[in-house]
Amino acid sequence: MNERPRRNRKSSVIRDMVRETELNVSDLIYPLFLVDGKGIEVPIASMPGIARYSEDLLLRQIEECVQLGLKSFVIFPAVEDSLKDQEASYAMRSDNFYLRTIRSIKQRFPEVCLMSDVAMDPYSSDGHDGYVRNGKIDNDLTLPILGRMAIHQAEAGIDIVGPSDMMDGRVQHIREALDAAGFTDTSIMSYTAKYASAYYGPFRDALDSAPKFGDKKTYQMDPANKREALREAALDEAEGADYLMVKPALCYLDVIQTLKENSTLPVSAYNVSGEYAMLKAAGEKGWINYDKAMPEMLLSIKRAGADIILTYFAKEYAQLKVES
């Protein structure tokens, strides 16, 4: 035999030398759930290890992460039902707890990278990402709302706004709104190919943001479609996105690879709540070696082509890295 691939696996030094993919803590963005109040930590049953935190305890979480070298976060607000309305108007109150907390984080930890969620659902009495008119999601009435939401977040100090709503034309609308308000340095990470997925269930528990009627299939993508992701990517690029995102990650590794091969923009992937819950549950039951399966899962997303991974495993992965 001339060819013996095993020779390149014969020792750990050699394996380290020929390794093709490396997953770094600096590749990760850690999603955090925020509630109004003080001293509040409400664990999310379907996401063991993840909780909704009030600002004081969220700041403590961020401090622990920063010490582990994890410095990028995306913050999602869990808003009380009484503050939700059809227009998501609470998002536009500059003293709301979400914007207040963004300012506090930036003041305490100026070096961290903060990403926001731009969509109506956390603030909407209809639980939809867009404006509901006559029982339908109205694309063009949603755009100005998203634009104003993004400006408020940029004002509070957000580094990257993350439109997760899947309305047509929103990246361009948000880019123009930000530029007109003087926020030319605020980046946009577009949820380019966000699929209508069953894997968002635990997240909707966390935010209590499930749609009050119907589903999200008129705006989120059909899990059967890959070429359509290229169409969305071309639009996001033309409209001024700084990053493309695929969401969820695991069932869509092929989509991640396709976007990576067809774009020069950085590609991110959102390893979503249901993906986290599955692995946690199997680990808790002792059906899988969690400490080994978790880095393998993250590595697969990186290997598929993601430059950046949004994942609830981020803090634990950083802890594992520090220990090893």
Q: Which positions are annotated as active-site residues?
A: 194, 247
C-beta closer to ligand PBG: residue 96 or 164: 164
**Could you say which residues in the range 114-153 bind ligand PBG, by CB under 6 A?**
117, 119, 121, 129
Contact between 272 and ligand PBG by CB under 6 A: the answer reads yes
- Distance from C-alpha of 272 to C-alpha of 251, rounded to nearest angstrom: 11
Q: 51-54 and 41-43: which strand pairing?
A: antiparallel
Q: Whose CB is nearest to ligand PBG? A: 203
Q: 102 near 143, Cβ under 8 Å?
A: no
Strand partners, 269: 246, 309
Q: Which of the ranges 35-43, 143-151, 198-206, 259-267 carries the binding residues for ligand PBG, by CB under 6 A?
A: 198-206
Its sign, for the CA torsion 235, 236, 240, 243, is negative
C-beta closer to ligand PBG: residue 196 or 262: 196
Q: Which of the ranges 84-92, 101-109, 196-204, 281-289 carries the binding residues for ligand PBG, by CB under 6 A?
A: 196-204
For residue 5, the minimal CB distance to ligand PBG (Å) is 38
Q: Which of the ranges 61-69, 78-86, 177-185, 197-205 carries the binding residues for ligand PBG, by CB under 6 A?
A: 197-205
C-beta closer to ligand PBG: residue 115 or 119: 119
**Could you say which residues in the range 17-56 bind ligand PBG, by CB under 6 A?**
none
Contact between 73 and ligand PBG by CB under 6 A: the answer reads no
Q: Name residue, tokens 């401090």.
A: 63
For residue 149, the minimal CB distance to ligand PBG (Å) is 11
- Distance from C-alpha of 23 to C-alpha of 25, rounded to nearest angstrom: 7
- Distance from C-alpha of 274 to C-alpha of 198, rounded to nearest angstrom: 8
Residue 75 burial (10 A CB sphere; 0-12, 13-18, 19+): buried
C-beta closer to ligand PBG: residue 93 or 204: 204
Neighbours of 18 (CB within 10 A): 8
Neighbours of 208 (CB within 10 A): 14
Contact between 203 and ligand PBG by CB under 6 A: the answer reads yes
Q: 28-35 and 308-311: which strand pairing?
A: parallel
For residue 203, the minimal CB distance to ligand PBG (Å) is 3
Q: Exactly one of 97, 131, 195, 200 binds ligand PBG (CB under 6 A); which one?
A: 200
C-beta closer to ligand PBG: residue 6 or 201: 201
List Cβ neighbours of 53 (8 Å cut-off, separation of 6 or more): 32, 33, 34, 35, 40, 41, 61
Binding site for ligand PBG (CB under 6 A): 117, 119, 121, 129, 164, 200, 203-204, 216, 272-273
